[in-house]
């Protein structure tokens, strides 16, 4: 009885051989292929260990060969090629190591004989460090700091890069108070969601976009400008206009209104080149054109007189 039990235990752990098992059941390779739904050549390659099946096929093979799934898996695991040795390792902890020594990326790059960009790529995780380079880093770091043993250097070298905490700037907070998503705010402004994201990360919006942000977010332009530390341009502060400021004033007002030079030219009945000349200060718009400009920007008819060049005397351009 004990011998029989021992034989049974040996049979239970005996490794499965697909070809032998198929022969025991009196099945041909085409029989197995039809049952599993593959080509006969595929079954023969499985039996020789030349190919590995997908997970969905394992259950079908176990059923056809009247065995359990684990036995089929063990057969293919025995024929699975060994994993290729790693050629690169993560080195996102390099920045912390070199800063601990007070070294710049250029210094480390020079000592390791690589470009500075390579050091930055390792630190950012954009590229792995060659395995052969690791001992050189260990020698470089542990040789200057007794507290850094080779094991410690290897551990710190592969430490994941610390993620910067997400900063919730004033624009993002204002958007949240209005219950707007980035996409919804972008749609309201007529810009892309990516641009709104750039603004929330600190990119300064164009003055026309600041005006639209103030309108959509229910605040004033001065507040929005303060978020980005951009004082209102002189064109939006008539009390500060001085003689000779007309070109700058016209540029600021057009930018504030979100207009193009051709839009201003169409309103005034002039060419785009004329508007460009006004904004660069090469020429001065005549009195009639200044009134049209004041109407376009919703200013008093004589508002631009304070910004005229002193030598022009308000003369008309022909």
Domain boundaries, the chain: 16-79, 88-157, 173-227, 234-307
5 falls in which pLDDT band (50, 70, 90)? very low
C-alpha 157/C-alpha 130 separation (Å) is 13
Tokens found for residue 273: 């080149």
127 membership: H or E segment, kind and range? none
204 falls in which pLDDT band (50, 70, 90)? confident
Tokens found for residue 266: 């169409």
More confident call, 1 vs 280 = 280
More confident call, 30 vs 165 = 30
What confidence score (pLDDT) does residue 282 get?
A: 92
What sign results for the dihedral spanned by CA atoms 302, 308, 312, 317?
negative
What confidence score (pLDDT) does residue 51 get?
A: 84
By the 10 Å C-beta count (0-12 exposed, 13-18 middle, 19+ buried), 179 is classed as exposed
Fold of 234-307: 434 Repressor (Amino-terminal Domain) (1.10.260)
Q: How many CB atoms lie within 10 A of CB 109?
A: 19
Question: Which among 26, 36, 83, 84 has a CA at the least distance from the CA of 62?
Answer: 36
pLDDT tens sequence across 240-252? 899 999 999 999 8
What confidence score (pLDDT) does residue 316 get?
A: 45
Tokens found for residue 103: 């070294």
Average pLDDT over residues 257-273: 91
173 falls in which pLDDT band (50, 70, 90)? very high
> What are the two backbone dihedrals, phi and then psi, of residue 88, each rounded to the nearest 5 degrees?
-140, 155
Q: What architecture does CATH give domain 173-227?
A: Orthogonal Bundle (1.10)
What confidence score (pLDDT) does residue 312 get?
A: 52
What sign results for the dihedral spanned by CA atoms 112, 118, 119, 124?
negative
- Are the folds of 16-79 and 173-227 the same? yes
Task: Please report how many Cα atoms fall inside a 13 Å half-sphere around the Cα of residue 218, on the Cβ side.
Answer: 8
Fold of 16-79: 434 Repressor (Amino-terminal Domain) (1.10.260)
> What are the two backbone dihedrals, phi and then psi, of residue 144, each rounded to the nearest 5 degrees?
-110, -10
Residue 186 has pLDDT above 90, yes or no: yes
C-alpha 104/C-alpha 106 separation (Å) is 5
What confidence score (pLDDT) does residue 169 get?
A: 86
Q: What is the mean pLDDT of the chain?
A: 84
Strand partners, 88: 130
pLDDT tens sequence across 35-74? 888 899 988 988 888 888 877 788 888 888 888 888 888 8
Is domain 88-157 classified as CATH 2.60.40.10?
Answer: no
What confidence score (pLDDT) does residue 6 get?
A: 42
Which residue reads 């792995």 in tokens? Answer: 128
Q: How many CB atoms lie within 10 A of CB 104?
A: 12
318 falls in which pLDDT band (50, 70, 90)? very low
130 membership: H or E segment, kind and range? strand 129-130
What confidence score (pLDDT) does residue 217 get?
A: 92
C-alpha 274/C-alpha 174 separation (Å) is 41
Average pLDDT over residues 125-150: 84
pLDDT tens sequence across 92-134? 999 988 888 888 889 999 999 999 999 999 998 889 999 899 9
Q: What percentage of the chain reaches a pLDDT higher than 70?
A: 90
Which residue reads 């080149």 in tokens? Answer: 273
pLDDT tens sequence across 287-304? 999 999 999 988 999 999
14 falls in which pLDDT band (50, 70, 90)? low
What confidence score (pLDDT) does residue 163 get?
A: 62
165 falls in which pLDDT band (50, 70, 90)? low
């Amino acid at each position: 009885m004990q011998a029989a039990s021992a034989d049974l235990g040996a049979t239970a752990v005996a490794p499965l051989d697909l070809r032998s098992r198929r022969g025991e059941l009196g099945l041909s390779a085409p029989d197995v292929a039809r049952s599993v739904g593959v080509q006969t050549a595929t079954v023969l390659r499985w039996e020789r260990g030349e190919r590995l099946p997908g997970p969905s096929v394992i259950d079908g093979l176990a059923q056809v060969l009247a065995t359990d799934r684990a036995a089929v898996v063990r057969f293919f695991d025995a024929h699975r090629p060994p994993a290729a040795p790693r050629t690169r390792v993560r080195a996102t902890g390099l920045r912390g190591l070199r800063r601990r020594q007070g070294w710049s990326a250029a210094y480390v790059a020079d000592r390791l004989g690589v470009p500075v960009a390579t050091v930055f790529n390792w630190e950012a995780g954009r590229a792995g460090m060659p395995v052969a380079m690791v001992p050189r880093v260990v020698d470089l770091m542990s040789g200057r700091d007794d507290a850094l043993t080779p094991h410690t250097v290897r551990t710190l070298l592969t430490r994941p890069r610390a993620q910067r905490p997400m900063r919730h700037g004033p624009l993002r907070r204002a958007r949240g108070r209005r219950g707007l998503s980035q996409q919804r705010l972008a749609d309201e402004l007529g810009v892309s969601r990516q641009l709104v994201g750039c603004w929330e990360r600190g990119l300064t919006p164009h003055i026309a976009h600041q005006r639209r942000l103030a309108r959509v977010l229910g605040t004033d332009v001065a507040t929005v400008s303060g978020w980005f530390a951009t004082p209102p341009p002189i064109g939006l502060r008539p009390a500060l206009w001085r003689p000779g400021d007309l070109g700058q004033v016209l540029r600021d007002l057009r930018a504030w209104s979100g207009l193009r030079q051709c839009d201003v030219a169409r309103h005034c009945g002039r060419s785009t080149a004329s508007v460009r000349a006004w904004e660069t200060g090469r020429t001065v718009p005549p009195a009639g054109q200044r009134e049209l400009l004041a109407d376009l920007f919703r200013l008093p008819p004589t508002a631009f007189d304070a910004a005229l060049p002193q030598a022009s005397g308000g003369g008309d351009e022909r």
